[in-house]
Amino acid sequence: MFSRFKKQPSAAGEASPAFSISVLIAISALCFSSIIQASDIVGARVWRAPDNTRLVLDLNGAVEHSILTLQSPDRIVVDIKNGRLATASTLSSLQLSESPIKNIRYANKDKHDLRIVLDLKEKVKPRSFLLKADGELKDRLVIDLYDEGNGKRAVKTQQAKQSSGSRDIVVAIDAGHGGEDPGALGPNNLREKHVVLAIAKELEALLKKQPGYRPYLTRTGDYYIGLGQRPALARKQQADIFISIHADAFTNPQANGASVFALSQGGSSSTMAKYLAKTENRADLVGGVTLADHDDMLAGVLLDLSMTANRDASTKVGSKVLSNMGGVARLHSKRVGYAGFAVLKSADIPSILVETGFISNPGEASKLRTKSYQRKMAKAIYQGVDGYFQKYPPAGSLIAANKAGGSKRYTVVSGDTLSAIAHRYNVSQGALKSANNISGSQIRVGQRLTIPSS
C-alpha cells in the first residue's frame, strides 16, 4: 500500500559537520524529553511559490516526524511523535485554494502521536525539515511540496530576446525576504518583505516601458527563496545585472537614509555594513537552507578573478543608483558600501544590494509604506541602472546599437520633465526639443523621445 517511504533529513543534516554534531546532540536531548512531553502545533501557514508550496507548522518544541507519499488517491501522510493539535481551527482555517492540497485531515495515532493527511489535487514531491526557534519564530516543521508531472505551474526559463543582433539587457530584480521570512518589521506592522516587493514591481513596470530592457523578478509573490537560489535564478535568465532591494532595521531607531552595497573582498566597510550583512544572511536560517545553495555560493566564491572585475562594475552601477537616490531620499552614505552579503556572491553578474531606507526609523517607515514614495524610489534605481548601461552597454544589446548609431530612445514616465531628461542624458534642452519637434515644454507619459548624441 505504501508506494514510497522516506524519512526526510532534518535541517541539521545539511549543516556543516561541526554544527551537525552539536545540533544532533541537542535534538537527541529534545527527543528524550519529548517522550514525556507532548509537542503542540500552535500555528500553521501555507505559502505558494511558482513551483512549490510550503506548509509550515509552528510547534512549542522540537519533534520527531516522518513523512510518506501514498497513491490512489494521491496524499501525503505526516506522522508527528507525541504531537497534538492545539485547536482544530489551526489546520481547518488554512487557505488552500492556490495550493495542490485539496483537504487536510488529522487523527491521533497510537495514543500519543498525531497523523496529518494532506489530500492532494495533483502529484507533488515532498521534502520536510525542522527549523529551530529563532527570535520571535517558534520551532517549526516545514513541509515543502514541489510541483510534479507536466509542470503546469512550473516557471519557464525565458531566454533573452535575440532580434537582429540587438538583444534586451536583462535586469534581475530581487525583492528581499518573503514568505516565512518577513525581513525587518516597522511600526504598525509594516513588513520589509511587502515594501520591497512593491518597489521591485514598480521598477519592473518602469523597465518594461523602456525599449532595450527586459526586467525579471526573482520573487513575484509572498514566498521565500534561498539566498543562493536568487543569483542562480538571475543566471538562468542570463541577467546583465542583479539588484537586491531591501528596507532594513537597525539597532538604533534613529538610523536613517538610503544606501547601496556591493560585495566586499573580505572585511566590511563599516559596522553598519557588517551588521546588515549578518542579519540579511541569517534569512536562510529562517527560510530553510539547502545544500544546493551552499554549492552555488562556493562555486561563486571560487571564481575570484572574475569577481574583481565584477566588483568594479557593481561599484560603478551602485554609484549611479546612489546619486539618483540622493534626489529622493537622504543618503546614509554617499559612497557604495562593501559587505559580505550572500545574495551578492555572483562571480559573473554585477550585483548590488539597495537599502531603500530603514524601516526601523518611524519617519522613513511612514514614507516607505506609500505608493508614491515606492514609485520615486523605483524610479531613482531605474535612472541609476539606465545611466550605467547608457555609458557601458553590453555588446550586442539594443542600447549598444543605439549608442553606436549616435542616438537613443527614451519613453517618458510619470514625473519626468524635459530639463531632467536633458540633464540625465547630458544634452541641452534645445537639442532635445528640436530632435523631437517640441515647441513648448510639455511632454506626456508614454511619449517616445529621441535623445540626440551629446
Per CB under 5 A, residues contacting Zn ion are: 176, 183, 246, 248
C-alpha cell, 141 = 516543521
Cβ distance to Zn ion smaller for residue 183 or 287: 183
Q: In terms of C-beta density within 10 A (0-12 exposed, 13-18 middle, 19 or more buried), how is residue 279 classed? A: middle
Distance in Å, CB of 336 to Zn ion, minimum:
17
Cβ distance to Zn ion smaller for residue 64 or 293: 293
Label residue 204 left, alpha or beta by phi (over 0 means left) and psi (-120 to 50 means alpha): alpha
Distance in Å, CB of 177 to Zn ion, minimum:
6
Q: Which residue is closest to Zn ion by CB?
A: 246
Distance in Å, CB of 21 to Zn ion, minimum:
31
Give the contacts of 65 (CB within 8 A, at least 6 positions apart).
78, 79, 80, 81, 83, 128, 130, 141
Cβ distance to Zn ion smaller for residue 220 or 453: 220
Instruction: Report which secondary-structure segment, H or E, holds 106.
Output: strand 101-109
* Secondary structure of residue 225 in the 3-state scheme: coil
Distance in Å, CB of 94 to Zn ion, minimum:
27
Cβ distance to Zn ion smaller for residue 223 or 389: 223
Cβ distance to Zn ion smaller for residue 341 or 410: 341
Distance in Å, CB of 185 to Zn ion, minimum:
11
Distance CA 101, CA 47 (A): 12
Q: Measured at the alpha carbon of residue 189, what is the angle toward residues 184 and 192, in degrees to the nearest 5? A: 30
Nearest to 291 by CA among 67, 11, 7: 11
Distance in Å, CB of 302 to Zn ion, minimum:
26
Distance in Å, CB of 278 to Zn ion, minimum:
12
Distance in Å, CB of 207 to Zn ion, minimum:
22
Cβ distance to Zn ion smaller for residue 144 or 248: 248
Secondary structure, 3-state, 365-414: HHHHCCHHHHHHHHHHHHHHHHHHHHHCCCCCEHHHHHHHCCCEEEECCC
Beta strands in 251-400 (DSSP E): 259-263, 337-339, 351-355
Nearest to 346 by CA among 376, 319, 309: 309
Cβ distance to Zn ion smaller for residue 174 or 248: 248
Q: In terms of C-beta density within 10 A (0-12 exposed, 13-18 middle, 19 or more buried), how is residue 389 classed? A: buried
Give the contacts of 33 (CB within 8 A, at least 6 positions apart).
61
Cβ distance to Zn ion smaller for residue 176 or 387: 176
Instruction: Report which secondary-structure segment, H or E, holds 143.
Output: strand 139-147
